[in-house]
Structure 1
Amino acid sequence: MTLLLSLATARAEQAHGTFEAIRTSVPPQLDGQLDDEVWATAPSYTRFVQTFPQEGAEPTERTEVRVLYDDQTLYVGIINFDSQPQLVNRQLGRRGQPPESDIVTVSIDSAHDRRTAYAFSVNAGGTLRDTLYFDDNKSSNDWDAIWDGRAALRPDGWSVELAIPLRLLRFPSAPIQDWGFAVRREIARKSEVIDSILIPRNANAFVSRFGNLAGMRGLEPHMDVELTPYVASRASRRPLSPDPFLPKPRLWEPSADVGLDVKLSLTSQLVLNATINPDFGQVEADELILNLSTFEAFFPEKRPFFTQGMDIFQPAGAEISDASQMLFYSRRIGLDTPILAATKLTGALTRNIQIGLLDAVVMDASAPSHAGEDSGQPDSRYQFHPTRPFHFAPNSALPLEPGVPQNFFMAISRATVAPGSTVGLSAGAATPLGHRCGSVLPEDPGPRDDCLVAGGNAAALDWNLRTQDGNWVFVGQLAGSQVVGGPEAGQLRRDGTLLRPGDTGLGTYMTAGLLGGDPLRFSVGYEYASPRLELNATGFQTTQNQQTAKATVEFVRPSGWGPLHTFSTSFNAYRDWTTDSRALHVNDQLLLLTEATLPGFHVAGFKIGAKFNRQDIREIPLTGIPIERPDYQYITAWGETNRNLPLALRVDAYVNRLVAPAPTLSKHGQGATLTTIWRPLPNLETQLIADFYGFLEGPRWLETLPNGRYLFSEQEPLILSLTLRQLLVLSPRLTLQLYAQLFSATNRFGPFYEATPGADGRVHLADFLPTEPGMDPSYHEAALNMNMVLRWEYTPGATLFLVYSRAQQELPPQEGSAELFHLLLPNRLFAGASTDTLFVKWSHAWGL
Structure 2
Amino acid sequence: MSFRRLLGSLARSLACLTLLLSLAAARAEQALGSFEAVRTSVPPQLDGRLDDEVWAAAPAYTRFVQTFPQEGAEPTERTEVRVVYDDQTLYVGIINFDSQPELVNRQLGRRGQPPESDIVTVSIDSTHDRRTAYSFSVNAGGTLRDTLYFDDNKSSNDWDAIWDGRAAQRPDGWSVELAIPLRLLRFPSAPIQDWGFAVRREIARRSEVIDSTLIPRNANAFVSRFGNLTGMRGLEPHMDVELTPYVASRASRRPLSSDPFLPRPRLWEPSADVGLDVKLSLTSQLVLNATVNPDFGQVEADELILNLSTFEAFFPEKRPFFTQGMDIFQPAGSDVSDSSQMLFYSRRIGLDTPILAATKLTGALSRNVQIGLLDAVVMGASAPSRSGEDSEQPDSRYQFHPTRPLHFAPNSTLPQEPGVPQNFFMAISRATLVPGATVGLSVGAATPLGHRCGTVLPEDPGLRDECLVAGGNAAALDWNLRTQDGNWVFVGQLAGSQIVGGPEAGQLRRDGTLLRPGDTGLGTYMTAGLLGGDPFRFSVGYEYASPRLELNATGFQTTQNQQSAKATVEFVRPSGWGPLHTFSTSLNAYRDWTTDSRSLHINDQLLLLSEATLPGFHVAGFKIGAKFNRQDIREIPLTGIPIERPDYQYLTAWGETNRNLPLSLRLDAYVNRLVAPAPTLSKRGQGAALSTIWRPMPNLETQFIADLYGVLEGPRWIKSLPDGRHLLGEQDPIVLSLTLRQLLVLSPRLTLQLYAQLFTATNRFGPFYEATSGSSARVRLAELVPTDPGFDPSYHEAALNMNMVLRWEYSPGATLFLVYSRAQQELPPEEGSAELSQLLLPSRLFSGAATDTMFIKWSHAWGL
Q: Which amino acid aligns with 2:297?
A: G
Match of 1:224 among 227, 233, 240: 240
Q: Which amino acid aligns with 1:505?
A: G
Structure 2 counterpart of 1:786: 802
Structure 2 counterpart of 1:805: 821
Match of 2:227 among 182, 195, 211: 211
**Equivalent residues in 2 for 1:252-271 (5 A)?**
252-271=268-287
When residues 776 and 222 of structure 1 are mapped into structure 2, their CA distance, relative to the original with a 3 A threshold, is same
Match of 2:591 among 564, 575, 583: 575
| Cα displacement (A) at 1:122 | 0.1
| Cα displacement (A) at 1:541 | 0.2
Counterpart CA distance in 2 for 1:522 and 1:442 is 55
- Please say if 1:341 is aligned against 2:332: no
Gaps of 5+ in 1: 1-7
| 1:804-846 superposed Cα distances (whole Å, 9 cap, x missing partner) | 0000000012457686341110120000000000000000000
| Cα displacement (A) at 1:419 | 1.1
Match of 1:45 among 56, 61, 64: 61
| Cα displacement (A) at 1:421 | 1.9
Indicate conservation of the 8 Å contact 1:782/1:827, yes or no.
no
Structure 2 counterpart of 1:5: none
| 1:284-336 superposed Cα distances (whole Å, 9 cap, x missing partner) | 00000011100000000000000000000001012311011000000000021
Indicate conservation of the 8 Å contact 1:758/1:764, yes or no.
no
- Please say if 1:822 is aligned against 2:838: yes
Structure 2 counterpart of 1:146: 162
TM-score, normalisation: structure 2: 0.95
Q: Which amino acid aligns with 1:15?
A: Q
**Equivalent residues in 2 for 1:122-133 (5 A)?**
122-133=138-149
Structure 2 counterpart of 1:498: 514
**Equivalent residues in 2 for 1:292-331 (5 A)?**
292-331=308-347
Structure 2 counterpart of 1:639: 655
> Rg: which structure is higher?
2
| Cα displacement (A) at 1:442 | 12
**Equivalent residues in 2 for 1:584-623 (5 A)?**
584-623=600-639
| Cα displacement (A) at 1:376 | 5.0
Counterpart CA distance in 2 for 1:80 and 1:441 is 76
| Cα displacement (A) at 1:591 | 0.3
When residues 527 and 294 of structure 1 are mapped into structure 2, their CA distance, relative to the original with a 3 A threshold, is same
Q: Which amino acid aligns with 2:663?
A: L
| Cα displacement (A) at 1:14 | 5.5
**Equivalent residues in 2 for 1:557-706 (5 A)?**
557-706=573-722
- Please say if 1:105 is aligned against 2:148: no
Aligned to 1:15, the other structure's residue is in SS state: helix
Q: Which amino acid aligns with 1:405?
A: P
| Cα displacement (A) at 1:455 | 0.2
Counterpart CA distance in 2 for 1:76 and 1:755 is 70
When residues 451 and 71 of structure 1 are mapped into structure 2, their CA distance, relative to the original with a 3 A threshold, is farther
CA RMSD of aligned residues (A): 1.9
- Please say if 1:67 is aligned against 2:48: no
| 1:611-662 superposed Cα distances (whole Å, 9 cap, x missing partner) | 0000000000100000000000000000000000000000000000000000
Match of 1:529 among 545, 551, 573: 545
Match of 1:183 among 199, 214, 234: 199
When residues 515 and 492 of structure 1 are mapped into structure 2, their CA distance, relative to the original with a 3 A threshold, is same
- Please say if 1:362 is aligned against 2:378: yes
| Cα displacement (A) at 1:759 | 11
Q: Which amino acid aligns with 1:153?
A: Q
Aligned to 2:279, the other structure's residue is in SS state: strand
Indicate conservation of the 8 Å contact 1:440/1:452, yes or no.
no
Indicate conservation of the 8 Å contact 1:278/1:341, yes or no.
yes
When residues 817 and 711 of structure 1 are mapped into structure 2, their CA distance, relative to the original with a 3 A threshold, is same
Counterpart CA distance in 2 for 1:412 and 1:373 is 53
Larger mean CA deviation between 154-163 and 413-422 belongs to 413-422
| 1:94-151 superposed Cα distances (whole Å, 9 cap, x missing partner) | 0000000000000000000000000000000000000000000000000000000000
Indicate conservation of the 8 Å contact 2:451/2:467, yes or no.
no
Q: Which amino acid aligns with 2:745?
A: V
Structure 2 counterpart of 1:417: 433
Q: Which amino acid aligns with 2:111?
A: R
| Cα displacement (A) at 1:538 | 0.2
Counterpart CA distance in 2 for 1:457 and 1:78 is 50
Structure 1 counterpart of 2:187: 171
Counterpart CA distance in 2 for 1:372 and 1:192 is 73
Aligned to 1:826, the other structure's residue is in SS state: coil
Counterpart CA distance in 1 for 2:667 and 2:459 is 48
Counterpart CA distance in 1 for 2:628 and 2:466 is 36
Aligned to 2:294, the other structure's residue is in SS state: coil
Q: Which amino acid aligns with 1:771?
A: T
Q: Which runs of 4+ in 1 moved over 2 A?
A: 8-15, 369-377, 435-444, 449-453, 757-760, 813-821
| 1:514-552 superposed Cα distances (whole Å, 9 cap, x missing partner) | 000000000000000000000000000010000001100
Counterpart CA distance in 2 for 1:326 and 1:11 is 47
When residues 442 and 193 of structure 1 are mapped into structure 2, their CA distance, relative to the original with a 3 A threshold, is farther
Counterpart CA distance in 2 for 1:661 and 1:355 is 55
| Cα displacement (A) at 1:454 | 1.7
Match of 1:58 among 63, 74, 78: 74
When residues 374 and 815 of structure 1 are mapped into structure 2, their CA distance, relative to the original with a 3 A threshold, is farther
Indicate conservation of the 8 Å contact 1:239/1:835, yes or no.
yes
Match of 2:733 among 707, 717, 726: 717
Counterpart CA distance in 1 for 2:359 and 2:445 is 15
Indicate conservation of the 8 Å contact 1:136/1:420, yes or no.
no
- Please say if 1:546 is aligned against 2:562: yes
Structure 1 counterpart of 2:16: none
TM-score, normalisation: structure 1: 0.97
When residues 813 and 776 of structure 1 are mapped into structure 2, their CA distance, relative to the original with a 3 A threshold, is same
- Please say if 1:15 is aligned against 2:30: yes
Of all paired residues, the percent bearing the same amino acid is 89
Indicate conservation of the 8 Å contact 1:135/1:420, yes or no.
no
Aligned to 2:76, the other structure's residue is in SS state: coil
Q: Which amino acid aligns with 2:474?
A: A
Q: Which amino acid aligns with 2:561?
A: N
| 1:419-470 superposed Cα distances (whole Å, 9 cap, x missing partner) | 12210000000000013778899999xxxx9966520000000000001110
Indicate conservation of the 8 Å contact 1:440/1:487, yes or no.
no
Q: Which amino acid aligns with 1:691?
A: D
Counterpart CA distance in 2 for 1:591 and 1:257 is 51
**Equivalent residues in 2 for 1:378-457 (5 A)?**
378-435=394-451, 453-457=469-473
Q: Which amino acid aligns with 1:592?
A: L
Q: Which amino acid aligns with 1:102?
A: D
Aligned to 2:624, the other structure's residue is in SS state: strand
Counterpart CA distance in 2 for 1:820 and 1:543 is 32
| Cα displacement (A) at 1:364 | 1.0
Indicate conservation of the 8 Å contact 2:487/2:530, yes or no.
yes
Aligned to 1:291, the other structure's residue is in SS state: coil
Counterpart CA distance in 1 for 2:671 and 2:466 is 40
| 1:206-264 superposed Cα distances (whole Å, 9 cap, x missing partner) | 00000000000000000000000000000000000011110000010000000000000
Gaps of 5+ in 2: 1-22
Indicate conservation of the 8 Å contact 1:353/1:413, yes or no.
yes
Indicate conservation of the 8 Å contact 1:324/1:542, yes or no.
yes
| 1:52-82 superposed Cα distances (whole Å, 9 cap, x missing partner) | 0000000000000000000000000000000
Aligned to 1:208, the other structure's residue is in SS state: helix
Counterpart CA distance in 2 for 1:490 and 1:788 is 45
Match of 2:488 among 472, 485, 489: 472
| 1:678-700 superposed Cα distances (whole Å, 9 cap, x missing partner) | 00000000000000001001100
